[in-house]
Amino acid sequence: MKGFLATYLREILLLKKRFFRVLLSLSINPILYILAFGIGLGKGLYLEGRPYLEFLIPGLISASSMLQAFAINVEINVARFYLKVFEEFQGAPISPLSYALGEVLSGITKAFLSTSVILGITFLLGGVSIKINLLFWIVVFINAFIFASLGLASAMTIKAHADQTLITNFIITPMMFLGGTFFPTSNLPAFIQPLVEILPLTLVSKTLRDIAWNKPLDYSDLVLLITLAIFAFLLALYTINKAKD
């Protein structure tokens, strides 16, 4: 337990030192997406009987929480390759489970912060009718847990800091644009739809929209997301143990 808190608090103290810079960087992209897509391009556009902005906000929260949670890999890589923090962890009485939980929770914290920023911007805009409840935040938590775990696993797997860009460019960025963030996956060509619709981000976007629009939930999607979260965390634990060896 102490190992988990030590790992988590280290990341939170680093976040605290640059909190306002992080908050500003978290605000820029959502503002641009909302202005360019939600208001500029999407003005007067309706999807599934709702204003486009109400379609965009849940998808944007899904994508932003994914990006912020996965982004822990950059800081872990810097700490691992340049600051040698991982070597200190190896010599400390901290279990891989405690280390993994601390890093993943730090990613979840940043994902919650980015979600709060988007909801704050939405509130200031006004005229957006979406429902935010406990289940909404639970789904954001699961989404962040999945991608923070995958970010940790990728950071433990790569052999050089520069290789991380390949994972982001070939996996995370395509998922952000194709995973139901900006448009329905039904608009994609038929041959790619089955693949896109089982992506974690697609499932999260769909589930958050159902909650935000007060529609009946497909609980099979929720079960699948929880299963993916468990698998991703076990993968992170495996890669930590391999990196220690």
107-120 burial, b if ≥16 CB within 10 A, otherwise e? bbbbbbbbbebbbe
Per-residue pLDDT in tens (0 to 9) along the chain, 245 residues: 566 777 788 778 878 888 888 888 778 888 888 888 877 777 778 887 888 888 999 999 999 999 999 988 877 777 666 656 666 666 666 788 888 898 899 999 999 999 999 998 888 877 788 889 999 999 999 999 999 999 999 888 877 666 777 777 888 888 888 888 888 888 888 888 888 888 999 999 999 999 999 998 888 999 999 999 999 999 999 988 887 65
C-beta atoms surrounding 199 within 10 Å: 18
Q: What does the block give as tokens for 21? A: 């810079």
Burial (CB < 10 A; 0-12, 13-18, 19+), residue 197, is middle
pTM of the model: 0.90
pLDDT value at residue 180: 86
Percentages of the chain per state (helix, strand, coil), in multiples of 5: 80, 0, 20
Q: Which of 61, 62, 134, 147 is closest to 104 using CA atoms? A: 147
Catalogue the E-assigned strands of the chain: 46-47, 50-51
